[in-house]
A = this chain, B = another copy of it.
């Protein structure tokens, strides 16, 4: 026993978010990146990343193409795809709806001891994720203001 972790999102989810941002940051016209390119850009394990990209394709956040010049592209409008959607696709919605202390159901009627305090945080987080769209975030990366690795 001895844990030195527990962060907000799973690794799978972090890779997913980073991958989506990377693909969204690709220059117009040439916006299709292969697995190798993506996992290199976000410094993630290639094979594991492949599984995550597959999931994102299944939920139609990404489109994919096989063969030479194949790869992954954002499916839909980067302006309207939110980080919340990516998180929900990979980690599910427990982070948006679950009880902080593990009660089966988070509710006002049968609240856990930190429900009221925690609810505010959760709403803050949810609001942030829902209003963060890929386009805007990818611009920060393109402008050199933020980074996808290290």
Chain A, interface residues (CB within 8 Å), range? 35 or more
Q: With A14-B102, A113-B138, A121-B124 given, can you name 4 additional A-B contacts, CB distance below 8 Å?
A: A11-B102, A18-B102, A83-B114, A117-B128
Which A residues are closer than 8 A to B by beta carbons?
A: 1, 3-15, 17-18, 21, 51, 54-55, 83, 90-92, 94-95, 98, 100-104, 110-115, 117-118, 120-121, 124-125, 128, 132, 137-138, 140-141, 145-150
User: Are A128 and B118 in touch, CB under 8 angstroms?
Assistant: yes
User: Are A146 and B95 in touch, CB under 8 angstroms?
Assistant: no
Residue in chain B with minimal CB distance to A140:
B113
Chain B residues closer than 8 Å to A94, beta-carbon distance: 4-7
User: Are A3 and B8 in touch, CB under 8 angstroms?
Assistant: no
User: Are A103 and B149 in touch, CB under 8 angstroms?
Assistant: yes
Chain B residues closer than 8 Å to A115, beta-carbon distance: 146
Chain B residues closer than 8 Å to A100, beta-carbon distance: 7-9, 14
Minimum distance in angstroms from A3 CB to a CB of chain B: 6
